[in-house]
């Protein structure tokens, strides 16, 4: 990530608080103009948190498209962002796979086989039944993998590849993890920790849905009584030391899309005992609160605004824009001549960062057409000509007013019905960006 120092430092402090578990019932608002890195910072936070802490993303408009009530989908989002770390003691077999041998009967109906596992100290051969063979195949276990087999359930999990076999294959996926070959006994007793979210526990325990609903994503509404039972059970586990609550992060992007009912739900939900950290993002100024006729900063009611910590993100400076473009170009495997990079930076600061980023790929295609490896100013100029930014598009619309459908003539485009600053903001830009020349 580049630039946006204060906002990123603020996000860092929040992350510290999340990791120390001091966040229940807090909420953060990231406010700033479009493409100033709000979503990017939130994604960065998610990556830093690690896999154990839930991070749930929800776009404000999403709650209207699901086949359930708004408050139900918010409740589910809340419960998806609270993890329960469950500790279990099990007997495990853990070792590096030396060899897998499978003998098929003539009809193929039954399979038997042998699995040879080793640690640095010993090696043992286990007999395999059909079920285990199928599981090994499903997990794509190969010789050289370090695996863990749960003795009671027979579940196999792949821990990674053994360092000793690292050089055997050069076509490994980027996510291949290398681990040490285990030492000591093959059989061990281990405390295993699973983290599941409260929502997953809800779904698994709701009779009408069953756990398969987790995969379909179509979980329907869950009864409040069931949730109460599960909360009670989880707090019982907590007292017995079997489970631990891991409050995670719920990120609500485009939060101004929520309406007054959702906001009052949020207000109350933040006070409940099991609440995650809620991070909201909005690019709106003073605008109407959805579902009311009242205006409020960011379209959020004042009583909710009062309890949030606000982080503001600023529009990027020229240097930052250049850096971001450079990083993005590298990611897309596109190289720019220095002068073209300067020109694109210039475009980014005069139109929008997103538009500049969107031009990277098309200008690369233009460059490829003339068999060049680097994008030149000329290539960029063509891409800039082919794809207009909002400012030029608006100028075009105004010019063609009479030919386009549903055009309201003249002045009214600043009075957008949702009270968004869109129209006015961009029409001010038109005169600036329309005649812009790439030098
Ligand atoms: N600091 C940064 N470092 C690298 N890339 C960035 C940075 N900030 C923004 N970007 C990139 O710029 C683009 C726009 O940023 P982002 O989506 O975070 O904006 P936003 O503030 O969420 O805007 P909106 O209000 O329109 O949702 C994204 O493609 C993102 O990857
Ligand atoms: Mg965003």
Q: Residue 102 has which token pair?
A: 């499978």
Residue with the larger pLDDT of the pair 154 and 386: 386
Higher pLDDT, 419 or 327: 327
Percent of the chain with pLDDT over 70: 87
Confidence at residue 22, expressed as pLDDT on a 0 to 100 scale: 72
CATH topology of domain 318-436: Helicase, Ruva Protein; domain 3 (1.10.8)
User: From ligand 1's centre to the CA of 253, what distance in Å?
Assistant: 12
- Given the candidates 2.40.50.360, 3.40.50.261, 1.10.510.10, 3.40.50.300, the CATH classification of the domain at 83-166+173-242 is 2.40.50.360
What DSSP string describes 337-405? -HHHHHHHHHHHHHS-HHHHHHHHHHHHHHHHHTT-SEE-HHHHHHHHHHS--HHHHHHHHHHTTTTST
Residue 416 pLDDT more than 80? no
- CATH placement of domain 5-81+248-312: 3.40.50.300
Q: Is the pLDDT of residue 432 over 60?
A: no
Q: From the CB of 357, is ligand 1 less than 6 Å away?
A: yes
> Which atom of ligand 1 is found nearest the CA of 4?
1
Q: What average pLDDT score do residues 271-290 get?
A: 88
pLDDT > 60? residue 431: no
| Identical topology for domains 5-81+248-312 and 318-436 | no
Band (pLDDT 50/70/90 cuts) for residue 17 is confident
For residue 172, name the pLDDT band (cuts at 50, 70, 90).
Answer: low
Cα(104) to ligand 2 centroid in Å equals 55
Residue 99 has pLDDT above 70, yes or no: yes
Hey, whose CA ends up nearest to atom 9 of ligand 1? 37
Q: How far is the CA of 35 from the centre of ligand 2 (A)?
A: 7
**Closest ligand 1 atom number to CA of residue 43:** 18
pLDDT band at 24 (very low <50, low <70, confident <90, very high): low
Q: Which of 126-140, 150-164, 316-330, 413-427 has the highest mean pLDDT?
A: 316-330
**CB 247, CB 23: distance < 8 Å:** yes
60, 324, 359, best to mutate for ligand 1 pocket (most atoms within 8 Å of CB): 324
- C-beta 36 within 6 A of ligand 1: yes
Distance in Å, CA 39 to ligand 1 centroid? 6
Contact residues for 143 (Cβ-Cβ < 8 A; gap 6+): 97, 98, 99, 100, 165
Any idea where the domains of the chain sit in the sequence?
Answer: 5-81+248-312, 83-166+173-242, 318-436
């Amino acid at each position: 990530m580049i630039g946006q120092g204060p906002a990123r430092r603020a996000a860092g402090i929040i992350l510290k608080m999340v990791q120390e578990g001091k966040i229940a019932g807090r909420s953060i608002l990231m406010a700033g103009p479009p493409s100033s890195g709000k979503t990017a910072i939130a994604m960065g936070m998610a990556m830093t948190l690690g896999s154990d802490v839930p991070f749930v993303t929800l776009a404000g408009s999403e709650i209207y498209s699901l086949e359930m009530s708004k408050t139900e989908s918010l409740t589910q989002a809340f419960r998806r962002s609270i993890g329960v770390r469950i500790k279990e003691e099990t007997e495990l077999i853990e070792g590096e796979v030396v060899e897998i041998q499978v003998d098929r009967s003539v009809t193929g109906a039954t399979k038997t086989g042998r699995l040879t596992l080793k640690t640095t100290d010993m090696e043992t051969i286990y007999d395999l039944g059909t079920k285990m063979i199928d599981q090994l195949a499903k997990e794509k276990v190969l010789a050289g993998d370090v695996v863990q087999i749960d003795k009671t359930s027979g579940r196999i999990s792949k821990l990674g590849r053994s360092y000793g076999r690292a050089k055997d294959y050069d076509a490994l996926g980027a996510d291949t993890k290398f681990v040490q070959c285990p030492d000591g006994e093959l059989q061990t007793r281990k405390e295993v920790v699973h983290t599941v979210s409260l929502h997953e526990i809800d779904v698994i325990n709701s009779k009408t849905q069953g756990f398969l609903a987790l995969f379909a994503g179509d979980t329907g509404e869950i009864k409040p009584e069931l949730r109460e039972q599960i909360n009670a059970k989880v707090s019982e586990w907590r007292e017995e030391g079997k489970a631990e609550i891991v409050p995670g992060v719920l990120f609500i992007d485009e939060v101004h899309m929520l309406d007054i009912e959702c906001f009052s739900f949020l207000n109350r939900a933040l006070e409940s005992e099991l609440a995650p950290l809620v991070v909201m993002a909005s690019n709106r100024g003073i605008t109407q609160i959805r579902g009311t006729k009242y205006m409020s900063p960011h379209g959020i009611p004042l009583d909710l605004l009062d309890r949030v910590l606000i982080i503001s993100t600023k529009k990027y400076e020229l240097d930052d824009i250049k850096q971001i473009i450079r990083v993005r170009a590298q990611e897309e495997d596109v190289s720019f001549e220095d002068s073209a990079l300067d020109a694109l930076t210039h475009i980014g600061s005069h139109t929008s960062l997103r538009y500049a980023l969107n031009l990277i790929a098309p200008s690369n295609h233009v460059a490829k057409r003339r068999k060049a490896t680097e994008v030149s100013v000329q290539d960029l100029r063509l891409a800039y000509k082919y794809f207009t930014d909002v400012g030029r598009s608006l100028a075009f619309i105004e010019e063609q007013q009479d030919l386009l459908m549903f055009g309201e003539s003249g002045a009214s485009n600043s009075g957008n019905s949702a009270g968004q600053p869109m129209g006015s903001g961009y029409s001010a830009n038109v005169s600036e960006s329309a005649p812009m020349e790439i030098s």
